[in-house]
């Protein structure tokens, strides 16, 4: 039986779905109903039980979701259960979760590391059930545009993605390579994206 748990902090709600000490899904939204609704689109109603009193693991997982949301980074201490995804999608998600706070990667950059094409990577992001644990908000277009955001859950929108990136500013100025199971992956300081967006002034309309 899957355990769903949602914690509301002020005007934002964080939620996880857990099973056997692993996270099967995570999300955030405007309130508890919002988050639960997104979970119900991923799992059948009968397979999931909403916990009023969370297991210690669920509590820890929700904490992690909140940390990432607040821009504090990923400790990568909670295991993810990716088995309900296609093998290629799993590779993409694992590669993306290696992008450090303060950096972004392009769809094509991920594709280069895990194989396949940029478009396929975008598809994998769109089905990502682990927002923001798998930081799909750090994946942008090769021209340093935002790309898209908000596939599986209710929490979508480029505005949200933009806010994420602003919180994750760390003042880096040089690109670097991170290693993935497929090979090296080039990541860029999030500032590259932000300065370009602010210059183009398009972000004001998001």
Partner DNA sequence: TGCAAACCATAAC
Partner DNA sequence: GTTATGGTTTGCA
* Residues forming the site for DNA (CB under 7 A): 85-89, 106-109, 115-123, 125-128, 131, 136-137, 139, 141-143, 147-152, 156
Query: In the bound complex, what is the minimum distance in angstroms from residue 68's beta carbon to DNA?
Result: 14
- 142, 143, 61: which is closest to 107 by C-alpha? 142
Between 36 and 111, whose beta carbon lies closer to DNA?
Answer: 111
Between 18 and 121, whose beta carbon lies closer to DNA?
Answer: 121
Q: Identify the sign of the CA torsion 36, 91, 122, 97.
A: positive
Between 58 and 139, whose beta carbon lies closer to DNA?
Answer: 139
Query: In the bound complex, what is the minimum distance in angstroms from residue 117's beta carbon to DNA?
Result: 2
Matching residue, tokens 């355990």: 3
82-106 burial, b at 16+ Cβ within 10 Å, e below that, comes to beebeeebbbbbbbbbbbbbbbbbb
Query: In the bound complex, what is the minimum distance in angstroms from residue 54's beta carbon to DNA?
Result: 26
Between 79 and 117, whose beta carbon lies closer to DNA?
Answer: 117
- 54, 60, 70, 61: which is closest to 23 by C-alpha? 61
Query: In the bound complex, what is the minimum distance in angstroms from residue 156's beta carbon to DNA?
Result: 7
């Amino acid at each position: 039986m899957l355990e769903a748990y949602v914690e509301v902090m002020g005007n934002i709600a964080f939620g996880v779905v857990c099973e056997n000490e692993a996270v099967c899904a995570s999300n955030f939204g405007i309130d508890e109903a919002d988050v639960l609704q997104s979970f119900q689109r991923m799992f059948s109603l009968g397979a999931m039980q909403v916990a009023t009193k969370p297991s210690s693991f669920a509590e820890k997982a929700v904490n992690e979701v909140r940390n990432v949301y607040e821009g504090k980074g990923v400790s990568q201490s909670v295991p993810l259960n990716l088995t309900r995804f296609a093998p290629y999608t799993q590779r993409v998600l694992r590669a993306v979760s290696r992008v450090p706070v303060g950096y972004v990667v392009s769809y094509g950059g991920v594709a280069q590391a895990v194989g396949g094409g940029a478009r396929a990577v975008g598809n994998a992001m769109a089905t990502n059930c682990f927002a923001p644990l798998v930081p799909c908000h750090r994946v942008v277009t090769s021209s340093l545009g935002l790309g898209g955001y908000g596939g599986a859950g209710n929490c979508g929108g480029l505005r949200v993605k933009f806010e994420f990136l602003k919180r994750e500013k760390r003042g880096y100025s040089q690109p670097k390579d991170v290693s993935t199971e497929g090979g090296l992956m080039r990541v860029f300081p999030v500032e590259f994206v932000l300065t370009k967006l602010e210059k183009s002034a398009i972000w004001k309309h998001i």
